[in-house]
Amino acid sequence: MSSDIFDEPTDTREKILAATYRSLSEHGYADLTMQTIGDELEQSPSLVYHHYENKDALVLACLEFLLEHFEDELGQGTIEEPRERLEEILEWWFATDVDDEWHAFVTTVLELRAQAVHDPDYRAHFTRSDRVFKRSLAALLRAGIESGTFRECEPERVAEILQTTLNGTVLRRSSTDDDEWLSAVHGELQEYLRTRVYAGPDSDSADE
């Protein structure tokens, strides 16, 4: 989720979704109310209720808006330098020197995923978002194979490994104060990519 998407809302709906995103990042899901969203919007909560019946309908609309934006970006242009892009994703996900916005992002993702345990609407959303993210990783891997940057592998299976590891990282980072394990997991994941995915002089394929 990126706040850049909401920099220039074009109508009332996008302004409400932008306020929801900011309020969610600041207060978290548990303390999010229609009143806090109205305060962030600098409008009466009645305006928010006019468009959305409750906070969950609003949060899900915000999540769907973000996911649709992500899907649109995926369909634009070709994937250049796939290895560099993949390593940037991992560096961002495993960074230890993070700011408050990053921490709020991770915490919010966990809180919202927790709702999916009992709420079918959240479960449906995260099922779809996981499929979109997996598809983006698989497309990145296929681009690397086609360019010769990656060796022949099964993109969907590798994408599953990456996505499951990253999701587990979110859970552990949000629920513990210890981050010493991050570098070890990041390093092991890089070793997996070096031995199973990357082609070139610094991969195991060079020794075969």
115 with 200, same domain: the answer is yes
Domain, as residue range, for 10: 1-77
pTM over 0.75? The answer is yes
C-alpha to C-alpha distance for 142 and 178, rounded to whole angstroms: 35
57 with 10, same domain: the answer is yes
105 with 136, same domain: the answer is yes
What integer pLDDT is reported at residue 2 of this predicted model? 53
Asked if residues 41 and 61 have their Cβ atoms less than 8 Å apart, the reply is no
CATH number of 16's domain: 1.10.10.60
pLDDT single digits (tens) 108-149: 888 899 999 999 999 999 999 999 999 999 999 999 999 999
C-alpha to C-alpha distance for 88 and 94, rounded to whole angstroms: 10
In sequence order, the β-bridge partners of residue 150 are 198
104 with 70, same domain: the answer is no
Q: How many residues does the chain have?
A: 208
Structure tokens at 78: 């070709």
Q: Which residues of the chain have pLDDT under 50?
A: 1, 206-208
What integer pLDDT is reported at residue 149 of this predicted model? 95
